[in-house]
């Protein structure tokens, strides 16, 4: 069984969770559904929803009136949510990948 977890800052901030709370209810529902599917099926969910973007990172794609991306890693049986953005360009910005890499568990 898989489990979704969230990376935290030293001060206790949970970046991705805080980001999800800023979304409208429709997008929050889409995110929660996709995270639930991830817990149930692992990386075997719809291939249009997940993309490997780095040897240690994956991108979860939430499509709607806004393009939401959640960058995560896999550690043991956990999906650790590291960073989330509203995508505004075709390519995922490098600084967002670097932010996720800095948040990787040691």
Using an 8 Å Cβ cutoff, are 101 and 56 in contact? yes
Q: Does the pTM of the predicted model rise above 0.85? A: yes
Give the total number of structural domains in the chain: 1
Average pLDDT over residues 15-33: 95
The predicted pLDDT at position 91 comes to 87
CATH number at residue 98: 3.30.2310.20
pLDDT digits (tens, 9 = 90+) for 46-102: 999 999 999 999 999 998 889 999 999 999 999 999 999 998 888 889 999 999 999
- Which residue range(s) make up the domain with 71? 3-102
pLDDT higher than threshold 80 for residue 106: no
Task: Tell me the two tokens of residue 32.
Answer: 């929660």
The closest of 80, 2, 84 to 38, measured between CA atoms, is: 2
Residue with the bigger pLDDT between 106 and 95: it is: 95
67 near 80, Cβ under 8 Å? no
Q: What is the DSSP letter of 43?
A: G
């Amino acid at each position: 069984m898989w489990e979704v977890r969230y990376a935290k800052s030293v001060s206790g901030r949970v970046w991705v969770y805080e980001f999800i709370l800023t979304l409208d209810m429709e997008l929050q529902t889409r995110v929660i559904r996709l995270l639930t599917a991830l817990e149930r099926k692992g990386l075997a969910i719809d291939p249009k929803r997940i993309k490997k973007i780095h040897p240690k990172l994956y991108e979860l794609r939430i499509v709607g009136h806004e393009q939401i991306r959640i960058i995560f890693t896999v550690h043991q049986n956990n999906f650790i949510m590291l960073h989330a953005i509203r995508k505004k360009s075709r390519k995922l910005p490098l600084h967002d990948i670097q932010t996720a890499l800095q948040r990787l568990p040691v």
